[in-house]
Amino acid sequence: MKFSLSWLRRYLDTDASVDAICDALNAIGLEVEGVEDPAAKLSGFRVAKVLTAARHPDADKLQVLTVDTGQGEPLQVVCGAPNARAGLVGVLGLPGAVVPANGMQLKKSAIRGVESNGMMCSTRELELGEDHDGIIELPADAPIGTPFADYRGVDPVIEVAITPNRPDCMGVYGIARDLAAKKLGELKPVAEAHLETPFACPVEIRTDDPQGCPAFYGRVIRGVRNGPSPQWLQDLLQSAGQRPISALVDATNYIMLSYGRPAHAYDLAKLTGAVVARRAVDGEQVTALNGKTYALDSEMTVIADQAGVHDIAGIMGGEHSGCEDTTTDVLLEIAYFDPARIARTGRKLNLTSDARGRFERGIDPGFLDKGLELLTALILELCGGEPSEVVRAGAAPTTPKTVHFDPALTEKLGGVTVSPQRQQAILESLGFGVVAEEAGFDKAWIVTVPGWRPDIDGAPDLVEEVVRIHGLDEVKSVPLPREDGVARPTATSAQRLERRVRRAAAARGLQEAVTWSFLPTPEAAHFADGPVWTLANPISEDMKAMRPSLLPGLLSAARRNLDRGAGSLRLFELGRRYLRGDAGASDERLTLGLVLAGEKAPRGWSSGKAVPFDAFDAKAEAMALLADAGAPTDKLQVMGDAGPQFHPGQSGTLRLGPKTVLARFGMLHPATAKLFDIDGPVALAEVFLDAIPARKAASGFARVAYAPPALQAVSRDFAFLVPATLPAGDLVRVVQGADKANIVAARLFDDFRGAGVPEGQKSLAVEVTLQPGDKSYGEADLKAIADKVTAAAAKLGATLRG
């Protein structure tokens, strides 16, 4: 919300400086985002008079002017404006001044061989309008030599961030009311308009959608003269960032920005029959004032006549019924729309406007008549004409809300002592009505909430109002109580798991990435096993779907880095993926994704070529991170079916049994690489931390201190002939489980295929580590263990090599 100091002073009688006003705004919760001083931009520009104008000796479209600046000798200026002439009073930019429109610093220079000491300026160059056809023409009696900023009377512009719960401050008058409550000045009453209405409204006005539009008021003004609005109004609108359009349109914008009360003016000649607030028909279309055509549905409220829709109610008017310079008769519309309906319509159409921002927050339903009278009076002042009687269709919900309030709550909830009399004064200055209940003035009040404060629901909200006006700096800081001794840990098991895994990944040389939780729909669908979550009101169309996997974001990050010359990438991200749960509920899963791209090792004298990453690198990282996460990695099985995003034959899954998938890994499928525009091999893995089984609850017994074995471990090697299709991990797992009392580890150390190995088979050599207990092994003991190992391997079709 932007407004000039002079606009604020229209409603607040104050002599406070801009700094004092900004300090007060920040103190009462209306955060000042910035202050702009237009006078600073106009420094170096003066009111000047053209004394003579002669043709440039070396250019047909240039003139050489002699300009009186009121500061000594006249200056010579070269100018190309068609309206430059002797006797014209305009604005001269002196050397050293900076042109606001383009940032160019003026200096003395020669133009086609003729010296020029500055520049006569146009409206657009000084960012005071769009006119660029000629230089500014001021009245003949404008004081020559006066700084243009002083002559124009520009004043500072304040920008305030308005939170969604304060619709009353979406107008300058509401901000003035808050400042008056802060004792920064006296709030001026809303002006009364005493209008004569000599004729009945010739247009039927009604509402056929009482839920979406409970109240629809209107009147006709005939005989208006539209055109540019006066300079004072254009200046105010420009200070708020609005572009002046015409007197009729500017009047509606002025009432909206002043009082937070949107309204609309229709060209009566473009309307046919009754004007009705109704539900739209599915498929109905309207071209809005922004030039775009919108398809409507039956959940939207529109303003229409017999010919069709003219207005997306509460959001934006239609292009074909807007006011033009030729407009002579207008229909003014002012209505109360359901805030939820306006918000849903705006989200569906992806359409924002100043009106929508106010209606969906909540407009004062009691300001319909007053707002229409103010708008009518302003149009009569600017454009003339005569108004009809008001037609009122429906009624706004004006039953006041009341709150039972105990003034003692302010100290209890707000931590500050404020006398009941001071609390009453604060609330009444904000527009609340305060009446004591029978229990007594100091104990219980009935507070009537004004219509412009829909955010007030109960007594705590009133405490907030009292405290922010009384002064948040009056609330003393009180430390939280702390128990003696060492504080108990507060991190949950999930938080501890995240910290542990994140540190483990970083310790392994992986670099953490943080990507968006939203994805383009095609990328999300490519990695989803089912329907994806899509947002009704996304940040952008390219970030519409919730990610079903962390890999798309990491692949996009990898592509950006590779495109910028990164040679080797080892990225990981720890976050949540979003799936559709039972009955459409959101199912969030803690997951770790990693991508290995580029060179695993650079080229060198020993290897020659650079070594790329492969599927085993991704598997090794996944196994290591699962181990750090506490997963039983010794029981994991490697199975296929990592998903269509992975390369078949170069990918797999790590599982506990056939159903519990803890991770998937492998090389990126060429089709997926093409979708993400990535060249070269990419290894990737996804670790499903939520699938790791929880550890059993610790028993009540104390942990036994670690004691190393008394006897030295023994190792034995076994070489087996197995089918070529048998995964080596299956053999290792079976061997290790052959005798759990004695075998503490099993490790594959050789995979051989060639001479001496039958066709269709391979030789796998496994090192088995045995740990004796209370006595050393004898030959019989070792033979018994070896028999168990060979018997277990035989179940997989393995035989000992001779």
Q: Are residues 388 and 499 in the same domain?
A: no
Q: Are residues 303 and 317 in the same domain?
A: yes
In sign, the C-alpha dihedral spanning 274, 275, 276, 279 is positive
Give CB contacts under 8 A, 24+ apart, made by 317-320.
Answer: 317/264, 317/266, 317/288, 317/289, 318/286, 318/287, 318/288, 318/289, 319/287, 319/288, 319/289, 319/291, 320/270, 320/287
Above 80 in pLDDT, residue 83?
yes
389 is in an annotated binding site: no
pLDDT in tens, 337-352: 999 999 999 999 999 9
User: 3-state class of 27 per DSSP?
Assistant: helix
User: What torsion, rounded to 10 degrees, do the Cα atoms 699, 704, 710, 714 define?
Assistant: 40
Q: Are residues 667 and 786 in the same domain?
A: no
656-666: average pLDDT: 92
Weakest-pLDDT range from 13-17, 101-105, 591-595, 626-630: 101-105
619-644: average pLDDT: 91
Q: What is the DSSP letter of 288?
A: B
pLDDT score for 700: 46
Of 38, 22, 39, nearest in space to 30 by CA? 22
**Looking at the domain assignment, is residue 543 inside a domain?**
yes
Structure-block tokens of residue 492: 């949950």
Among 691, 726, 754, the domain boundary falls at 691
Give bridge partners of residue 768 from the DSSP assignment: 716, 746
pLDDT in tens, 521-553: 999 999 998 888 888 878 888 889 999 999 999
**Looking at the domain assignment, is residue 192 inside a domain?**
no
pLDDT in tens, 437-470: 765 566 789 999 999 999 999 999 999 999 999 9
Of 316, 44, 30, nearest in space to 166 by CA? 30
Does 642 or 487 have the greater pLDDT score? 642
Average pLDDT, the chain: 91
pLDDT score for 698: 52
Structure-block tokens of residue 44: 């170096």
628 is in an annotated binding site: no
Q: Are residues 141 and 168 in the same domain?
A: no
Residue type, 381: E
373 is in an annotated binding site: no
401-406: average pLDDT: 93
Q: Are residues 502 and 557 in the same domain?
A: yes
Q: Are residues 163 and 148 in the same domain?
A: no
Beta strand 119-120 with 89-93 is antiparallel
User: How open is the CA angle 299-303-307, to the nearest 5 degrees?
Assistant: 110
Q: What is the DSSP letter of 313?
A: T
Q: Are residues 729 and 626 in the same domain?
A: no
What gap in Å lies between CA 743 and CA 735, rounded to an integer?
9
User: 3-state class of 244 per DSSP?
Assistant: coil
Phi-psi sector, 566: left (phi>0), alpha (psi -120 to 50), beta: beta
Name the phi and psi angles at 323, rounded to 5. -80, 145
Structure-block tokens of residue 391: 């037609």
pTM, rounded to two decimals: 0.68
User: Any idea what the CATH number is for the domain that residue 525 is in?
Assistant: 3.30.930.10
What gap in Å lies between CA 584 and CA 734, rounded to an integer?
42
What gap in Å lies between CA 218 and CA 331, rounded to an integer?
7
Instruction: Grade residue 681 by pLDDT with cuts at 50, 70 and 90.
Output: very high
pLDDT score for 531: 85
**Looking at the domain assignment, is residue 778 inside a domain?**
yes
pLDDT in tens, 279-302: 999 999 999 999 899 999 999 999
pLDDT score for 255: 96
Does 685 or 487 have the greater pLDDT score? 685
**Looking at the domain assignment, is residue 706 inside a domain?**
no
Give bridge partners of residue 569 from the DSSP assignment: 597
Structure-block tokens of residue 419: 């006398």
**Looking at the domain assignment, is residue 482 inside a domain?**
no
Q: How many domains does the structure of the chain reveal?
A: 6
Instruction: Grade residue 132 by pLDDT with cuts at 50, 70 and 90.
Output: confident
Q: Are residues 352 and 264 in the same domain?
A: yes
What gap in Å lies between CA 729 and CA 751, rounded to an integer?
12
Name the phi and psi angles at 500, rounded to 5. -65, -45
**CA of residue 504 relative to chain centroid, distance:** 33
Q: Are residues 639 and 742 in the same domain?
A: no
pLDDT in tens, 8-24: 999 999 999 999 999 99
Sheet bearing 433-436, strands edge to edge? 401-405, 445-449, 433-436
Give bridge partners of residue 286 from the DSSP assignment: 294
324 is in an annotated binding site: no
What gap in Å lies between CA 596 and CA 392, rounded to an integer?
69
User: Any idea what the CATH number is for the domain that residue 70 is in?
Assistant: 2.40.50.140
Q: Are residues 516 and 630 in the same domain?
A: yes
Q: Are residues 175 and 292 in the same domain?
A: no
**Looking at the domain assignment, is residue 198 inside a domain?**
no
User: Any idea what the CATH number is for the domain that residue 19 is in?
Assistant: 3.30.56.10
What gap in Å lies between CA 462 and CA 729, rounded to an integer?
69
DSSP E strands: which ranges in 688-801? 714-723, 743-752, 761-770, 799-800
**Looking at the domain assignment, is residue 486 inside a domain?**
no
Among 394, 423, 440, the domain boundary falls at 394
Structure-block tokens of residue 392: 């009122």
**Looking at the domain assignment, is residue 234 inside a domain?**
yes
Of 341, 351, 342, 248, nearest in space to 291 by CA? 351
**CA of residue 505 relative to chain centroid, distance:** 31
Name the phi and psi angles at 290, rounded to 5. -80, 5
Among 350, 366, 394, the domain boundary falls at 394
Percent of the chain residues topping a pLDDT of 90: 75
Above 90 in pLDDT, residue 771?
yes
Instruction: Grade residue 89 by pLDDT with cuts at 50, 70 and 90.
Output: very high
User: Any idea what the CATH number is for the domain that residue 384 is in?
Assistant: 3.50.40.10
> Structural domain of residue 177, as residue ranges?
2-37+156-187
User: What torsion, rounded to 10 degrees, do the Cα atoms 780, 783, 788, 793 define?
Assistant: 180
Structure-block tokens of residue 463: 């405490």
**Contacting residues for 15 by C-beta, under 8 A, at least 6 apart:** 185
219 HSE (CA, 13 A, CB side): 25
User: 3-state class of 150 per DSSP?
Assistant: helix
Q: Are residues 511 and 573 in the same domain?
A: yes
CA end-to-end span of the chain:
88
